[in-house]
Amino acid sequence: MGEKINIVGAGIFGLSLAVALRQRGYEVTVFDKNDYSQDEYKDFEVQAASVDQNKIFRASYGKKIHYQRLAMEAREKWEQLGNDLFVSSGMLRVQPTANLGALELETIANMRRDGLRDKLFIKGDKDDELRAKEARWHHKLLDVPIPDLDPSQSFAAVLDTTAGFTRSSEACLHYFKLAQGLGIPFVLGAEKGAFDSLIKVEYGGGGCRIQGIRTKDGVEHLSDKTVIAAGSFSTQLLPELSYHIESSGGSVARFKIDPKDTALWDKYSPAKFPVITWKSASRDAGGKDIGSIYVFPRTEEGIIKIGYRGVKYTHFQTAPEEASFSQEGQWSVPANRDVKPPQSAVDAIRYFVSIFLPEFTDVPFYSTKFCWYTDSLDNEFVIDYCPSYTDNSLFICTGGSGHGAKFLPVLGEHAADIFMHGDDAQTPLRSHWRWRSDAPRVNGLEEGPRGPRNLTGLARTG
Ligand SMILES: Cc1cc2nc3c(=O)[nH]c(=O)nc-3n(C[C@H](O)[C@H](O)[C@H](O)COP(=O)(O)OP(=O)(O)OC[C@H]3O[C@@H](n4cnc5c(N)ncnc54)[C@H](O)[C@@H]3O)c2cc1C
């Protein structure tokens, strides 16, 4: 029998690691406060980033070639999984102006480096347009005129045919069942599955070992090792993470198309319409890409989802004493589900809709919500042992930073390598995902409660 491992969190990070560890002989148990055996990852009001109709799959990562390569590795696995969990709809990356932006040029250079240039079609490039026609992708190389420009010009755009979207909730359910099939028990629900506290054994000399977890129902679950994979709630379970990650809200709005409206139903189908991303603004003075917003083709239920990540909203609250790091005594954690995106987000989405989905300009949203990011210091994941505890008794697997979902089929493999071998792990991701208390607090995490993104004080839409 292998070592006994408790994993807290049955989202993408927890599921992927659970399966990989079980396949390596560990005796794994997964805990979650949501009862996914009941709702099968279909309750979209649940506060878990993984529970969602769709997430973008892309290998376009600018200079970050390690994620480009990881994404292509994941793509192969998605295709093997089948069941339409990955939909190769393509993604049109629309630029802020009529010229290709810096990030796009970096992406094209790295894709060329890995022999993927022929999967990209640059709008207006004669050879690429011709290739797109031959490859039957041309209908997705959409022309989007820049508003209010005289003489008229269109936004520069690149159609990336390596990209598309994953059906995130379906993929979670697939992994949930896969894990069950491997004999992994799930302890689920608001009492018996919800983490309450770590069971700590203090040693003389200051050492402390984690010996398991206590759930809200008071039951103690002993283990050799514990994994925290609780997404945007992770700091609240393990306050030592407070320097490393911050929760922020991504604004999501949905429209619903009636299948009887055959023109719209057809136009926005994955066969006809790509994922579209647009940066409403070029890089800021600090070189950071800003203003990002995206839309998916409609789902089988007719849902068109738009996500605005131009501003990731923080939600600062009083931090507990145990938090090893706070800003003016506060930290940003997920707000309750009834807190909706503020007016500034709605305005940005409406502007995007007026350009890219003109038929919906005056249509009320079907729904809006926040989906909570787990932002790290540098958008790299945090997958490593927590140095506060001895004997490698506490492992962390989080920090998805808005781009973790696409890696579901391979993330656990790389995380398990780190789990088993630490610094001797073979994965090239080891150095990127390590515990990094020496890294500066940038990426917006330096802003704190007085920063412009804090929801307190911003106009809400109800
Ligand atoms: C708005 C938005 C858009 C995104 N878009 C993309 C995209 O297009 N492409 C992409 O690749 N990635 C995307 N991501 C990122 C991706 O969704 C995340 O990286 C990934 O889903 C994180 O998975 P997770 O398992 O770490 O967290 P989660 O999915 O949040 O799962 C954490 C789990 O922990 C459980 N939990 C929390 N607290 C407790 C507790 N006390 N006790 C027990 N269980 C607990 C939760 O119930 C949950 O099930 C996006 C994220 C957001 C927020």
Nearest protein CA to atom 23 of ligand 1, as residue: 12
Query: What SS3 state is found at 322?
Result: coil
Of the candidate CATH numbers 3.40.50.300, 3.50.50.60, 3.20.20.70, 3.40.50.2300, the domain formed by 4-56+168-229+379-433 belongs to 3.50.50.60
**Ligand 1: which atom is nearest the Cα of residue 52?**
17
Specify whether the CB–CB gap between 304 and 357 falls below 8 A: yes
pLDDT at 399 over 50: yes
Q: If you search the block for the tokens 């922020």, which residue do you land on? A: 248
Distance of CA 332 to the CA centre of its chain: 18
Q: Name which of 8-17, 129-138, 245-254, 279-288 the model is least confident about.
A: 279-288
Q: Around Cβ 196, how many Cβ atoms within 10 Å?
A: 15
The whole-number average pLDDT for the span 210-214 is: 98
Cα angle value 421/427/433 (rounded, 5°): 85
406 CA from centroid of ligand 1 (Å): 12
Reported confidence tier of residue 458, pLDDT bands at 50, 70, 90: low
Read off the tokens for 353: 């809709």
Average pLDDT taken over every residue of the chain: 96
Q: State the pLDDT confidence band at 457, using cuts at 50, 70 and 90.
A: low
CB 401 within 8 A of CB 376: yes
Binning pLDDT at 50, 70 and 90, where does residue 282 land? confident
The answer on pLDDT for 256 being more than 70 is: yes
Confidence category of residue 248, pLDDT binned at 50, 70, 90? very high
Report how far residue 31's alpha carbon sits from residue 233's, in angstroms, rounded to the nearest whole number: 14
What is the pLDDT at residue 462? 44
Residue 285 pLDDT exceeds 90: no
pLDDT at 459 exceeding the cut of 50: no
Start-to-end CA distance of the chain, whole Å, equals 53
Minimal-distance CA residue to ligand 1 atom 13: 403
Query: Does 287 have pLDDT greater than 80?
Result: no
Per-residue pLDDT tens digits for 29-43: 999 999 999 999 999
What residues are in contact with ligand 1 under a 6 Å CB criterion? 8-14, 31-34, 48-50, 55-56, 193-195, 229-233, 237, 250, 252, 307, 371-374, 398, 400, 402-406
pLDDT at 290 over 80: no
pLDDT at residue number 206: 83
pLDDT 10s digits, 343-396: 999 999 999 999 999 999 999 999 999 999 999 999 999 999 999 999 999 999
Q: How confident is the model at residue 291 (pLDDT cuts 50, 70, 90)?
A: confident
pLDDT at 204: 81
Which of 219-223, 286-290, 423-427 shows the lowest per-residue confidence on average (mean pLDDT)?
Answer: 286-290
Mean pLDDT of all residues in 91-111: 97
Name the percent of the chain lying above pLDDT 90: 93
Q: Which residues contact 249 (CB under 8 A, 6 or more apart)?
A: 312, 313, 314, 315, 334, 335, 339, 341, 370, 371, 372, 373, 455
Ligand 1 nearest-atom number relative to CA 46? 47
- The reported pLDDT for the residue numbered 38 is 98
What's the CATH class of domain 64-165+245-376? alpha beta
Residue range 443-457: mean pLDDT, rounded: 91
Res 449 pLDDT > 50: yes
- The tokens of 8 are what? 């807290």
Q: What are the residue boundaries of the structural domains of the chain, listed by start? A: 4-56+168-229+379-433, 64-165+245-376
Q: Which atom of ligand 1 is nearest to the CA of 400?
A: 19
Ligand 1 mean position, distance from CA 70 (Å): 19
Q: What share of the chain is helix, strand, coil (3-state, %, to 5)?
A: 30, 25, 45
Length of the chain counted residue by residue: 462
Provide the CB-side half-sphere exposure for 149 (13 A, CA). Answer: 12
Peptide bond into 151 cis (omega under 30): yes
